[in-house]
Chain A
Amino acid sequence: MSTAARTLLLVNRLPRNLQLLADFLAKEGYPAVSTATYEEIDRALANPQPLAGALVDITGFDAEIWARCEQLRTAKIPFLVVSPRQSAAIQQASLSHGAKGVMVKPLVVKELIGVIQSIMEE
Chain B
Amino acid sequence: MNTSKNPLPPEEVIPGQEPQKQQRNGGVEQGFVRVSTGVVGLDEILYGGLIQKRAYLLRGGSGCGKTTLGLHFLTEGTAQGERSLFITLGESEAELRANANALGFDLTQVHFLDLSPNADFFTEMQTYDIFSPAEVEREPVTRQIMEQIEHLKPQRVLLDAMTQFRYLATDAFQFRKQVLSFLRFLVEQGATVLYTSEGNSSVPDDDLQFMSDGVIHLHFQQEGRAVSVSKFRGSDFRSGFHSMRLTDRGMEVFPHLLPEQHLKQFVQETISSGVSELDELLHGGLERGTISILTGPTGVGKTTLGLQFMKEAAGRGERSVVYTFEEARETLLRRCESLNIPVRAMIERGTLSVVQIEPLHLTPDEFARTVRYEVEQQHAGIIMIDSIAGYRLSLGGDTVVRHLHALCKYLQNMGVAVLLINEVESIVGDFQVSDVGISYLADNIVFLRYLELRGELRKVVGVLKKRLSSFERTLREIEMSRYGIKVGQPLSNLQGILTGRISYIDAASKEG
Residues of A within 8 A of B (CB): 12, 14-17, 20-21, 24, 57, 59, 82, 84, 105-109
Contact = CB atoms under 8 A, between A and B. Distances in A.
Interface string B121-132: 000111111111
B130 A107 contact: yes
B136 interface: yes
A30 to B, nearest CB: 15
- Output the residue of B124, B128, B135, B136 with the most chain A CB within 10 A: B128
Given A12-B130, A16-B127, 5 more contacts: A14-B127, A14-B130, A16-B128, A20-B130, A106-B135
A36 B125 CA distance: 12
Nearest to A57: B130
Nearest to B125: A15
A14 B131 contact: no
B130 A82 contact: yes
User: Ordered nearest first, which 4 A-B pairs have the shortest CB separation?
Assistant: A16-B128, A106-B132, A17-B130, A17-B128
Interface of B: 124-132, 135-136
A16 B125 contact: yes
A14 B129 contact: yes
A107 B125 contact: no
8 contacts: A14-B127, A15-B124, A15-B125, A16-B125, A16-B127, A20-B130, A59-B129, A82-B130
Contact of B124 (A14, A57, A109): A14
A59 B128 CA distance: 12
B472 to A, nearest CB: 87
Main secondary structure of the interface of B (DSSP, over half): loop
Contacts of A84: 129
Nearest to B170: A108
Nearest to B132: A106
A24 B130 CA distance: 11
B198 to A, nearest CB: 24
Nearest to A23: B136
A17 B125 CA distance: 9
A84 B135 CA distance: 17
Nearest to A110: B135
B187 to A, nearest CB: 30
A58 to B, nearest CB: 12
Contacts of B135: 106-109
A106 B127 contact: no
Contact of B131 (A15, A59, A107): A107
Nearest to A13: B124
Contacts of A105: 129-130
B127 A20 contact: no
A16 B131 contact: no
A106 B131 contact: yes
B129 A17 contact: yes
Nearest to A10: B130
Contacts of B126: 16
Nearest to B120: A16
A37 to B, nearest CB: 14
Contacts of B127: 14, 16
Contacts of B132: 106, 108
Nearest to A109: B135
Contacts of A108: 131-132, 135
B174 to A, nearest CB: 13
Given A16-B125, A20-B136, A109 B131 contact: yes
A18 to B, nearest CB: 9
A35 to B, nearest CB: 14
A83 B131 CA distance: 12
A115 B341 CA distance: 95
A54 to B, nearest CB: 15
Nearest to B126: A16
Contacts of B129: 14, 17, 59, 84, 105-106
A45 to B, nearest CB: 22
Contact of A21 (B124, B125, B130): B130
A54 B348 CA distance: 89
A50 B127 CA distance: 30
A78 B128 CA distance: 25
Contacts of B124: 14-16
A16 B124 CA distance: 8
A113 to B, nearest CB: 12
B295 to A, nearest CB: 73
A105 B128 CA distance: 11
A108 B130 CA distance: 9
Nearest to A18: B130
Nearest to A24: B131
B251 to A, nearest CB: 40
Contacts of A21: 130
A106 B127 CA distance: 13
A20 B137 CA distance: 11
Contacts of B130: 12, 14, 17, 20-21, 57, 82, 105-107
